């Protein structure tokens, strides 16, 4: 089933579907600001949450397939995910 999009409206954001690993992610239970640090701010708080998250591997796998994602996903920043992608080639 598809969702119709009215002219002038933006399409629904692509992302993990409800009923998948995203519902078990610890980040969904914490301050989302920690996962989107401003330039110069530390990502350490987000990484501490990711370190104990039961779905970290699924989150990272998702993020590696979405190069445009901002913020900390699967315990890695966008720069770190880019480095991992290059290393894995």
Separation CA 43–CA 7 (nearest Å):
38
Give tens-digit pLDDT for 16-59: 665 688 889 999 999 999 999 999 999 999 999 999 999 999 99
Question: Is the pLDDT score of 10 beyond 70?
Answer: no
Which of 77, 87, 21 has its CA nearest to residue 53? 21
CA–CA distances in Å: residue 24 to residues 10, 29, 67, 87: 28, 9, 23, 29
Cα torsion angle, 2, 13, 60, 19, sign: negative
């Amino acid at each position: 089933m598809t969702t119709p999009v009215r002219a002038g409206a933006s399409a629904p954001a692509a992302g993990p579907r409800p009923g998948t690993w995203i519902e078990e992610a610890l980040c969904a239970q914490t301050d989302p600001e920690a996962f989107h640090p401003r330039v110069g701010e530390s990502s350490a708080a987000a990484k501490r949450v990711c370190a104990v998250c039961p779905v970290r591997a699924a989150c990272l796998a998702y993020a590696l397939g979405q190069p445009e994602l901002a913020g900390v996903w699967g315990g890695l920043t966008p720069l770190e995910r880019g480095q991992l992608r290059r290393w894995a080639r």
